């Protein structure tokens, strides 16, 4: 069992970032000096993935353009002697074999994954959601791939979340744990706290066997008329072993404004170009805020 294919669903509307996402896909919003989706693709490539299918929708053409060659721009950079920038542009198109297919209707993550059936064939494959950026020593999806290849099974990436967040995620019920790997007993999509079997939440990383497509074809439409991948995985777990891996790393919810800003700060601080100066700026900003916060409030008098 060798995982060389990955699927990245990128057809969402990005309504939490309106109005900018009316014109620009949320996957192309920049974190420091790279679009969000590039962090996801780099994670896949650094995990041994060679073939990537991006599930797109209306208005997502900037993603396709970004990973395509640009002869005019390349010729301009070459004429200006900007070899380093030229090399970076060419490297983008060589990162992996990138393919595209379109999700014609917004019918949920389960439907988006099912769009990859022809691309996947009979192989196991990875799924990486673009809203979750995970900063770790070993790529998060590689951690799942190692578990999947050892057990010849599907694996879900999970992290424990606070009680007030369980209704935002698919939640895993564990049938037993060895190290950081659980065997899945049950899965529930966005349960209330009272109905949640645990606080182990699915965090946008999956390694799936091709058998998942049969279960995706069995599930009914759920809330909002969407097909939930969690529901298909729950059916699969009743007939085959499914594992959940508590992966190591710092996770940023890039689909949330605060999470997006946190990721921007973290990656900007690591930038070889601006990291040191940015850190100095943040230190100075913090000191100025402390001074302002410590000043007595002005008294306003009438007269």
- Determine the Cα–Cα distance for residues 303 and 125; give it in Å rounded to an integer: 74
Which domain does 217 fall in, by range? 5-255
- Determine the Cα–Cα distance for residues 47 and 143; give it in Å rounded to an integer: 9
Residue 117 lies in a domain: yes
Question: How many independent structural domains does the chain possess?
Answer: 1
Torsion of CA 282, 285, 286, 291, to 10 degrees: 170
- Determine the Cα–Cα distance for residues 8 and 40; give it in Å rounded to an integer: 8
Residue 277 lies in a domain: no
Asked if 203 and 245 count as a contact pair (C-beta separation under 8 A), the reply is no
Do you find a cis peptide bond into 19, omega within 30 degrees of 0? yes
- Determine the Cα–Cα distance for residues 211 and 49; give it in Å rounded to an integer: 20
pLDDT value at position 303?
Answer: 45
pLDDT value at position 220?
Answer: 92
pLDDT value at position 121?
Answer: 94
Residue 294 lies in a domain: no
Q: Which of 93, 109, 115 is nearest to 169 (CA)?
A: 109
Residue 274 lies in a domain: no
Torsion sign (Cα): 130, 120, 212, 243: negative
Question: For the whole model, what pTM was predicted?
Answer: 0.90
Residue 98 lies in a domain: yes
Give the tens place of pLDDT for each residue, 171-220: 999 989 999 999 999 998 889 998 899 999 999 999 999 999 999 999 99
Give the phi and the psi of residue 190 in degrees, each rounded to 5.
45, 60
Q: Which residue has the tokens 């890039």?
A: 254
Residue 77 lies in a domain: yes
The CB density around residue 220, as the number of other CB atoms within 10 Å, is 7
Give the tens place of pLDDT for each residue, 97-121: 999 999 988 899 999 999 999 999 9
pLDDT value at position 295?
Answer: 64
Residues in the chain predicted with pLDDT less than 50, given as ranges, are 303
Give the 3-state secondary structure of residue 190. Answer: coil
Residue 26 lies in a domain: yes
Residue 15 lies in a domain: yes
- Determine the Cα–Cα distance for residues 161 and 10; give it in Å rounded to an integer: 24
CATH code for the domain in which residue 228 is found: 3.90.550.10
């Amino acid at each position: 069992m060798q995982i060389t294919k990955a699927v990245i669903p990128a057809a969402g509307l990005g309504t939490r970032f309106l109005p900018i996402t009316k014109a620009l896909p949320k996957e192309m919003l920049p974190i420091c000096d790279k679009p969000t989706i590039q962090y996801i693709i780099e994670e896949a490539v650094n995990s041994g993935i060679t073939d990537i299918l991006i599930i797109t929708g209306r208005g997502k053409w900037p993603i396709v353009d970004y990973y395509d060659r640009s002869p005019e721009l390349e010729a301009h950079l070459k004429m200006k002697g900007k070899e380093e920038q030229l090399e970076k542009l060419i490297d983008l198109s060589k990162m992996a074999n990138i393919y595209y297919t379109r999700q014609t209707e917004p019918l949920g993550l389960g439907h988006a994954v099912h769009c990859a059936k022809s691309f996947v064939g009979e192989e196991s494959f990875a799924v990486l959601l673009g809203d979750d950026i995970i900063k770790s020593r070993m790529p998060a999806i590689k951690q799942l791939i190692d578990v999947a290849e050892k057990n010849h099974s599907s694996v879900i990436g999970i992290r424990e979340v606070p009680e007030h967040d369980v209704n935002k995620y698919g939640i895993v019920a564990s049938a037993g744990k060895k190290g950081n790997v659980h065997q899945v007993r049950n899965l529930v999509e966005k349960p209330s706290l009272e109905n949640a079997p645990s606080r182990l939440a699915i965090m946008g990383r999956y390694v799936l066997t091709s058998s998942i497509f049969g279960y995706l074809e069995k599930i009914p439409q759920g809330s909002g008329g969407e097909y939930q991948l969690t529901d298909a995985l729950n059916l699969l777990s009743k007939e085959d072993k499914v594992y959940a891996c508590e992966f190591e790393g710092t996770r940023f919810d890039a689909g949330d404004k605060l999470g997006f800003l946190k990721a921007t700060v973290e990656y900007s601080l690591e930038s070889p170009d601006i990291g040191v100066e940015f850190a100095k700026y943040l230190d100075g900003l913090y000191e100025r805020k402390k001074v302002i916060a410590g000043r007595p409030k002005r008294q306003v008098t009438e007269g």
